[in-house]
């Protein structure tokens, strides 16, 4: 059908926009680190450096070049997988980040695998029993878990499941070649903490989006067909609430990747968050730039997926007249 | 009335409603929430295979009564008294499960707007067979076969394949027929038709009406047919019940209601549209001249208006008629400057109007006013009537304070609403009153021409009649010209001086009322005229038989 042609065009437009946005963000990140007082050379050599030593180091690092030249050489490096070298330990950033990014994605994946279906299911149940005891209990608990700061939840989980019950380790140490089940056991607590943090937002938005659809005339049609409440919600309301639900799910997935800093620190989990915190405290600008760019890419990428899902979920776009 | 009801006391009763009372809680802005009675003491009886028409203005409780046959209260209304006996049992005493099993199986529903009543996310076939399969009335395969047969019976195009389409892929008239097929698919004993043709064009309505009538006849299903249009219900019903304010006014056989109504209210309904208006001949130079206008949306290639030329004379009414999509409202947008035409020009009071709204002078804006179909959405709900009417006085005439208040009071008097309404908000007014306020707002600018875009379409017949009378009276007093856009030919016949018939962006017939309505007709005008329901038994069959051209909904 001709529908897919126009859909592909729309999707291509979205992707092009995403790339453009990412480029703009890269400029911002680069400029941001430029505006900070002092440059990399002076932060490496410290306060007592002689002007001559600074001069030499700047030339060595290429800092004597104009900003625009340095931006493009940095961008060129990023595009070819070269994120530069960390100032603090002179290690290649890309090879240092790769395993940590994998760890972060592993944790985010399992947190999402639990929280997304759970949030949507709870949202459906809340709509089914709306304004009743069940709805209020679900909403209340979910809101409470969101209102509590994640470090607090983390410590409560550690206290109960690691210290008292001794079911899971309190430190989520993972290493290369670790068996899958051990790894799963290690991330159980941080994944649970993350789930509790993102659950309420997704569940409340699912509930609101579906309730909005429940006002439609076609819901009355379904009701007058004698369908059960749950079938009405699942078959007739949910498919029309997909776009807003996917949107909020993607926002939360992005949080699971870029917002895990605190949880990773609490559980001493070797992910991107911890890596970022370490190097921010050392003013290691190339690392901050690299991590910032990756986080931005994740964010933009996930929102792109949400947009594309919304386009595909719309039957009017999928099947034009 | 007792003799008239005698014939209903024997025979198989499928549905019997006894002393029905329905209440709802309302939350008015300035008062405490309280209960109101929507339906009070309604009793009716429907035999197998018969059709009972429920008729009345909005708020008469017709839909509420219809839905009570499915034990359903829309929007929080409560069935608080009486019995609804369907197939020998009181369904008000059924539990949730029992009620669910009767909905979609014993009783089915056809809604006013099929476009809104179909789920946009699913294919038509999935929705049509859903209830049948859900209630175990047939296997999925069997149900699909039935559906295709029904699509064919309702003369839908490509009956084998139309089920694979999504709701937005078929026209409104077709969708309404698919909805009828959906109701018939589970072979129910009773179907509630809730204004099934009201949202359709007049030329499409007649097709759908004929399809529904034939389907009812051939399947032997009983029906409650709800509408506000007496002429429509007269075509399909065996009996008619006239309702007002939740009470029965008159209940009798269709022939008696149409030919010998007993109650005054019924007589008024039968006589609606009787307006005295003498046609005026074009005189002097036109107030507004539309010259060879061609226009398209968004710089597109498809012309919505093609070489349209009409004249409107001072103090006269030009009615522009046509079905939806014929370009009527686009013409209004071009005249008001909201849409810049590709070709052609508009002359107004001897000068050429700028095609762009932004370049028009304040006087140009003032002399061209507009009244809309939806009075509700045309007013700011947070402003009082005085503010709404006072705004053009401030804007165009710089009137303030006492002077403005006096003029607002004058205008309220003109639209036959007292000054007591000045401090009311739109939400506190009835539909007819809202439209009156919109008329006053347009008059406040002392315009030369008012464009009336379907101003009576959303109103009940009797209220619409009052509004039309008011408009004519104001025309005589203020010598204002009207461009009256409508799809309702009865309205046109009542008030127009000249008529322009539009079809697919072109003016196909144009002249004074007597010229346009005098045979011989071109095919489209003939179709349009013959599609207007007449209060006469057997009109539908004659009209369908005498047609020369297929309607656009087919």
Separation of alpha carbons B209 and B155, rounded Å = 12
Q: What is the pLDDT of residue A20?
A: 93
Q: For the segment A261-299, what is each residue's pLDDT rounded down to a tens digit?
A: 888 888 888 888 888 888 887 777 788 888 888 888 988
Top mean-pLDDT range of A40-44, A91-95, A97-101, A222-226: A222-226
Separation of alpha carbons A307 and A11, rounded Å = 8
- Candidates B495, B531, B56; CA nearest to B269 is B56
> Are the CB atoms for B480 and B474 separated by under 8 Å?
yes
B303-312 β-sheet, strand order = B303-312, B288-296, B343-348, B351-352
Separation of alpha carbons B365 and B444, rounded Å = 13
Top mean-pLDDT range of A55-59, B53-57, B190-194: B190-194
Contact B130 A225 (CB under 8 A): yes
Contacts of A239 in chain B (CB under 8 A): 119, 121-122
Percentage of chain B with pLDDT > 90?
A: 39
Q: What is the pLDDT of residue B451?
A: 94
Other residues' Cβ atoms within 10 Å of the Cβ of residue A263: 26
Contact A223 B103 (CB under 8 A): yes
Q: For the segment A89-146, what is each residue's pLDDT rounded down to a tens digit?
A: 778 888 888 888 888 888 889 999 999 999 999 998 998 888 889 999 988 888 888 8
CA distances from B328 to B313, B507, B551 (A): 19, 10, 18
User: A44 pLDDT exceeds 80?
Assistant: no
Compare all CA atoms of chain B with the CA of A312 and give the residue at the minimum distance: B121
Measure in Å the smallest separation between the Cα of A185 and chain B Cα atoms: 41
User: B197 pLDDT exceeds 70?
Assistant: yes
Separation of alpha carbons B24 and A92, rounded Å = 72
> Are the CB atoms for B525 and B506 separated by under 8 Å?
no
Separation of alpha carbons A231 and A209, rounded Å = 17
Measure in Å the smallest separation between the Cα of A16 and chain B Cα atoms: 25
Across residues B482-504, what is the average pLDDT?
88
SS3 A38: coil
R_g of chain B, CA atoms, integer Å: 25
Token digits of residue B208: 């759908």
CA distances from B249 to B47, B254, B268, B287, B390 (A): 21, 14, 12, 47, 41
Q: Tokens 């130079």 — which residue?
A: B285
User: B133 pLDDT exceeds 50?
Assistant: yes
Beta strand pairing status for B107-110 and B190-194? parallel
Mutate to test the interface with B, among A130, A210, A225 (most CBs of B within 10 A): A225
CA distances from B266 to A34, A146, B427, B467, B539 (A): 83, 62, 29, 20, 20
ω before B35 within 30° of 0 (cis)? no
Separation of alpha carbons A29 and B475, rounded Å = 68
- Candidates B287, B331, B227, B241; CA nearest to B50 is B241
* Residue in A218, A224, A315 closest to B72 by CB: A224
B71 close contact with A: CB closer than 8 A: no
Separation of alpha carbons B134 and B141, rounded Å = 13
Beta strand pairing status for B107-110 and B13-26? unpaired
At a CB cut-off of 8 Å and minimum separation 6, what does B359 contact? none
Token digits of residue B33: 């929430």
Token digits of residue B70: 């499915």
> Are the CB atoms for B490 and B532 separated by under 8 Å?
yes
Note down the domain range covering A106: 100-282
R_g of chain A, CA atoms, integer Å: 24
Task: Calculate the dihedral angle through the C-alpha atoms of B272, B477, B488, B251, rounding to the nearest 10 degrees.
Answer: -20
CA distances from B206 to A220, B209, B323 (A): 26, 5, 13
At a CB cut-off of 8 Å and minimum separation 6, what does B471 contact? B439, B452, B455, B482, B495
Compare all CA atoms of chain B with the CA of A317 and give the residue at the minimum distance: B168
Contacts of A223 in chain B (CB under 8 A): 72, 103
> Are the CB atoms for B270 and B535 separated by under 8 Å?
yes
> Are the CB atoms for B267 and B257 separated by under 8 Å?
no
Across residues B13-26, what is the average pLDDT?
88
Please, where are the H alpha helices in B156-263?
172-185, 202-219, 230-236, 254-259
Contacts of A217 in chain B (CB under 8 A): 111, 113, 116-117
Contact A216 B116 (CB under 8 A): yes
**Domain ranges (residues) in chain B:** 114-179, 288-518
Half-sphere exposure of B263 (CA within 13 A, CB side): 14
* DSSP structural state of residue A92: B
SS3 B505: coil
Separation of alpha carbons A225 and A227, rounded Å = 6
Bridge partner list, B252: B240
Contacts of A317 in chain B (CB under 8 A): none
Separation of alpha carbons B370 and B351, rounded Å = 20
Burial of B243 per CB tally in 10 Å (0-12, 13-18, 19+): buried
Q: What is the pLDDT of residue A95?
A: 83
Contact B105 A239 (CB under 8 A): no
Separation of alpha carbons A264 and A118, rounded Å = 23
| A223 is a domain residue | yes
> Are the CB atoms for B495 and B450 separated by under 8 Å?
no
**Would you place residue B225 in the very low, low, confident or very high pLDDT band (cuts 50, 70, 90)?**
very high
Q: Phi and psi (nearest 5°) for B212?
A: -65, -45
- Candidates B109, B147, B201; CA nearest to A217 is B109
Quick one: B288-518 is in which CATH superfamily? P-loop containing nucleotide triphosphate hydrolases (3.40.50.300)
Q: What is the pLDDT of residue B188?
A: 93
Contacts of B121 in chain A (CB under 8 A): 236, 239-240, 315
User: B208 pLDDT exceeds 50?
Assistant: yes
**Chain A residues with CB-CB distance to B under 8 A?**
216-218, 220-228, 231, 235-236, 239-240, 315-316, 319-321
User: B103 pLDDT exceeds 50?
Assistant: yes
Compare all CA atoms of chain B with the CA of A242 and give the residue at the minimum distance: B121
Per the structure, the count of domains in chain A is: 1
Compare all CA atoms of chain A with the CA of B171 and give the residue at the minimum distance: A321
Got the DSSP string for A180-213? HHHHHHHHHHHHHHHHHHHHHHHHHHHHHHHHHH
Q: For the segment B530-547, what is each residue's pLDDT rounded down to a tens digit?
A: 888 887 888 888 888 877
* Residue in A216, A224, A231 closest to B109 by CB: A224
Contact A240 B135 (CB under 8 A): no
- Candidates B423, B425, B391, B419; CA nearest to B406 is B419
Contacts of B172 in chain A (CB under 8 A): none
Q: What is the pLDDT of residue B113?
A: 83
Percentage of chain B with pLDDT > 70?
A: 95
Separation of alpha carbons A255 and A299, rounded Å = 8
Q: What is the pLDDT of residue A60?
A: 75
Contact A225 B103 (CB under 8 A): yes
- Candidates B45, B38, B37, B58; CA nearest to B14 is B45
B377 close contact with A: CB closer than 8 A: no
Across chain A, what does the average pLDDT equal? 84
Q: Tokens 């994946």 — which residue?
A: A109
Contacts of B199 in chain A (CB under 8 A): none
Contact A218 B109 (CB under 8 A): no
Domain with A204 in it: what CATH number? 1.10.3720.10
Q: For the segment A176-187, what is each residue's pLDDT rounded down to a tens digit?
A: 777 888 888 888
> Are the CB atoms for B438 and B444 separated by under 8 Å?
no
């Amino acid at each position: 059908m001709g529908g897919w042609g126009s859909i592909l065009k729309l999707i291509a437009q979205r992707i092009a926009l995403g790339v453009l946005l990412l480029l703009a963000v890269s400029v911002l990140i680069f400029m941001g680190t430029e505006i900070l007082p002092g440059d990399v050379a002076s932060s490496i050599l410290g306060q007592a450096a002689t002007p001559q030593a600074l001069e030499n180091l700047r030339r060595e690092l290429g800092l004597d070049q104009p900003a625009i030249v340095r931006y493009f050489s940095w961008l060129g490096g990023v595009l070819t997988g070269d994120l530069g070298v960390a100032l603090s330990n002179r290690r290649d950033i890309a090879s240092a980040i790769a395993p940590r990014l994998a760890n972060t994605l592993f944790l985010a994946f399992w947190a999402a695998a639990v929280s997304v279906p759970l949030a949507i299911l709870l949202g459906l149940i809340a709509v089914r029993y709306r304004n009743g005891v069940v709805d209020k209990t679900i909403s209340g608990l979910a809101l409470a878990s969101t209102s509590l700061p994640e470090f607090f939840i983390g410590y409560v989980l550690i206290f109960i499941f690691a210290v008292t019950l001794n079911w899971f380790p309190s430190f989520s140490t993972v290493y290369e070649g670790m068996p899958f089940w051990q790894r799963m056991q290690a991330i159980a607590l941080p994944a649970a903490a993350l789930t509790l943090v993102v659950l309420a937002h997704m569940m409340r938005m699912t509930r609101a989006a579906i309730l909005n659809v429940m006002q439609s005339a076609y819901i009355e049609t379904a009701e007058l067909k004698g369908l059960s409440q749950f079938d009405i919600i699942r078959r007739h309301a949910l498919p029309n609430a997909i776009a807003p639900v996917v949107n909020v799910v993607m926002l939360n997935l992005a949080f699971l990747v870029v917002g895990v800093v605190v949880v990773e620190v609490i559980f001493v989990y070797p992910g991107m968050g911890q890596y970022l915190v370490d190097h921010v405290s050392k003013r290691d600008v190339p690392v901050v730039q690299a991590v910032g760019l990756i986080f931005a890419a994740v964010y933009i990428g996930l929102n792109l997926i949400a947009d594309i899902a919304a386009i595909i979920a719309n039957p009017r776009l999928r099947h034009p007249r | 009335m007792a003799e008239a009801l005698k014939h209903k006391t024997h025979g198989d009763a499928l549905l019997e409603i006894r002393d029905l009372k329905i209440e709802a809680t309302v939350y008015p802005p300035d008062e405490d929430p309280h209960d109101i009675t929507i339906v009070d003491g309604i009793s009716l009886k429907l035999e197998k295979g018969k059709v009972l028409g429920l008729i009345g203005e909005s708020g008469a409780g017709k839909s509420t009564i219809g839905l009570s046959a499915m034990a359903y209260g829309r929007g929080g209304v409560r069935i608080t008294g009486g019995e609804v006996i369907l197939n020998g049992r009181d369904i008000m005493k059924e539990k949730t499960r029992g009620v669910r099993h009767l909905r979609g199986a014993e009783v089915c529903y056809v809604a006013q707007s099929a476009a809104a009543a179909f789920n946009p996310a699913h294919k038509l076939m999935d929705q049509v067979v859903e209830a049948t399969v859900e209630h175990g009335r047939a296997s999925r395969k069997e149900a699909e076969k039935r559906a295709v047969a029904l699509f064919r019976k309702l003369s839908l195009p490509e009956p084998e394949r139309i089920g694979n389409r999504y709701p937005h892929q078929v026209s409104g008239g077709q969708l309404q027929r698919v909805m009828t097929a959906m109701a018939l698919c589970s072979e129910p004993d009773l179907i509630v038709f809730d204004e099934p043709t009201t949202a359709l064009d007049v030329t499409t309505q007649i097709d759908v009406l004929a399809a529904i009538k034939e389907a009812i006849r051939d399947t032997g299903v009983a029906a409650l047919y709800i509408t506000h249009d007496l002429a429509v219900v007269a075509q399909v019903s065996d009996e008619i019940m006239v309702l007002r304010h939740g009470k029965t006014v008159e209940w009798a056989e269709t022939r008696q209601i149409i030919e010998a109504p007993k109650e005054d209210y019924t007589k008024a309904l039968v006589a609606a549209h009787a307006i005295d208006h003498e046609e005026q001949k074009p005189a002097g130079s036109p107030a507004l001249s539309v010259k060879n206008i061609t226009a398209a949306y968004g710089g597109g290639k498809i012309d919505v208006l093609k070489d349209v030329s009409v004249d409107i004379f001072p103090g006269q009414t030009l009615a522009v008629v046509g079905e939806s999509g014929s370009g009527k409202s686009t013409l209004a947008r071009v005249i008001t400057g909201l849409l810049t035409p590709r070709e052609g020009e508009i002359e107004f009071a001897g000068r050429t109007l700028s095609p762009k709204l932004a370049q028009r002078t304040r006087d140009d804006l003032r002399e061209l006013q507009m009244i809309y179909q939806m009075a509700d959405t045309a007013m700011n709900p947070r402003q009082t009537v005085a503010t709404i009417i006072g705004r053009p006085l401030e804007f165009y005439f710089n009137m303030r304070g006492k002077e403005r208040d006096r003029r607002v009071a004058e205008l309220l008097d003109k639209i036959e609403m007292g000054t007591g309404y000045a401090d009311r908000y739109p939400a506190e007014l009835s539909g007819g009153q809202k439209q009156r306020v919109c008329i006053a707002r347009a008059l406040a600018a002392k315009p030369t021409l008012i464009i009336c875009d379907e101003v009576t379409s959303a109103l009940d017949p009797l209220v619409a009649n009052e509004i039309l009378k008011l408009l004519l009276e104001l025309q005589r007093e203020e010598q204002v010209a009207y461009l009256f856009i409508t799809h309702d030919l009865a309205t046109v016949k009542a008030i127009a001086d000249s008529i322009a018939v539009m079809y697919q962006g072109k003016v196909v017939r144009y002249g004074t009322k007597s010229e346009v309505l005098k045979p011989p007709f071109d095919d489209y005008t003939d179709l349009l005229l013959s599609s207007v329901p007449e209060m006469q038994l057997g009109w539908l069959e004659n009209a369908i038989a005498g047609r020369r051209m297929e309607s656009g909904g087919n």
